[in-house]
Amino acid sequence: MEGTILLTGASGMVGSAIYRLLENRAEIQLLAPGYHELDLTDQTQVDRYFSIHSPEIVLMIAARVGGIAANKADPVGFLSENTRIQLNLFEACQKHGVRKSLFLGSSCIYPRECPQPMKEEYLLTGPLEPTNEGYALAKILGLKLAQYYYRQYGMLTICPIPCNIYGTNDHFDLQNSHVLSALVRRFVDSQDNASSEVVLWGTGAARREFIHVEDVAEALLFMLQHVETPEPINLGTGTDISVRDLAHLVAELVGYTGDIKWDSSMPDGMLRKCLDVSRFDAMGYRPRISLRDGVTRTIDEYRERKRTGTV
């Protein structure tokens, strides 16, 4: 892989992991504009940036993301902002002759009652999970744009659909974070404050599949080199865990020994999300970082952020 690469969302968890892999490669000119340099929701800015810099490969990683609480509070924002980003980027890629691009999907686009494990052909076969419907609809639009631009203009965009991503450079805001980073913060803080109990949302029965962001970054670059179709491809470990068992794992690794209670008045979200990763497995790449090791790294990172006041 060589040439001028535009990486959007380079300050985020996935984007920063990709940036670390690409930043020192001599054969690559890496463009990684921040929000103040390029507002992806502004069509004029996006078109001007492409005109000036002429990227050959575009990694569409930037998105507005968040957990259940954030999605429920602002579905308009999640749908409209992500839709504008995607429309602007796809149009600019086609207009300026981008050689190849990558659009990062999300497993939340599968139907709420989807058969498990979820195969790519199950997309759009049933209603979405209501708690993140706005975000999911935007991501579905992105997948369809990739297919339409390929069919109409021959513009190739590959479309990985990852399971729940966690790890280095995640954020730990309890209102906006995803489940694993939220659990890490709750248990570390409770341990530090000598709290006798932790109260968590839902029943703990929901099951989720997790992949460390460093594995994701390597897998995305692998796919960029080996995939030549806009059809979606699942990216994950193929193994899930209940939120209850995950909470106990985090508590164990933190060293927290207090009570764990569940607030069943709060939503669980989709009851199970586990991907069928047979298409990706057939390419010969497998994630390297175990959940236990990845959670340990995340705990260490949060503790370091607390120590330095950078949470």
Residue 105 known to bind ligand: yes
Tracing tokens 């939120």 back to the chain, one arrives at: 243
Q: What is the signed CA dihedral for 279, 285, 288, 292, rounded to 10 degrees?
A: 0
* Strand pairing report for 240-242 and 207-212: antiparallel
Could you tell me if 138 and 128 are in contact, meaning their C-beta atoms sit under 8 angstroms apart? no
Could you tell me if 164 and 107 are in contact, meaning their C-beta atoms sit under 8 angstroms apart? yes
Residue 16 known to bind ligand: no
Catalytic residue among 135, 149, 166, 302: 135
Residue 201 known to bind ligand: yes
Residue 14 known to bind ligand: yes
Express the helix, strand and coil content of the chain in percent, nearest 5 each: 45, 15, 40
Residue 309 known to bind ligand: no
CB neighbour list of residue 295: distance below 8 Å, 6 or more residues apart? 180, 184, 249, 250, 253
Question: How far lies 66's CA from each of 9, 72, 77, 138, 247, in Å?
Answer: 14, 10, 11, 14, 19
Residue 111 known to bind ligand: no
Could you tell me if 15 and 9 are in contact, meaning their C-beta atoms sit under 8 angstroms apart? yes
Residue 160 known to bind ligand: no
Residue 186 known to bind ligand: yes
Tracing tokens 């429920």 back to the chain, one arrives at: 72
Residue 295 known to bind ligand: no
Residue 107 known to bind ligand: yes
Residue 251 known to bind ligand: no
Residue 263 known to bind ligand: no
Q: Residue 135 catalytic?
A: yes
Residue 259 known to bind ligand: no
Residue 163 known to bind ligand: yes
Residue 10 known to bind ligand: yes
Could you tell me if 39 and 45 are in contact, meaning their C-beta atoms sit under 8 angstroms apart? yes
Could you tell me if 285 and 219 are in contact, meaning their C-beta atoms sit under 8 angstroms apart? yes
3-state secondary structure 230-263: CCEEEECCCCEEEHHHHHHHHHHHHCCCCEEEEE
Residue 151 known to bind ligand: no
Kindly tell me the burial class for residue 10, based on how many C-beta atoms sit within 10 Å of its own C-beta (0-12, 13-18, 19 or more).
buried
Mark the binding-site residues, compressed into ranges.
Answer: 9-15, 104-107, 139, 162-165, 178, 186, 201, 208, 268
Mark the binding-site residues for substrate, compressed into ranges.
Answer: 186, 201, 208, 268
Q: Which residues are catalytic?
A: 135
Mark the binding-site residues for NADP(+), compressed into ranges.
Answer: 9-15, 104-107, 139, 162-165, 178
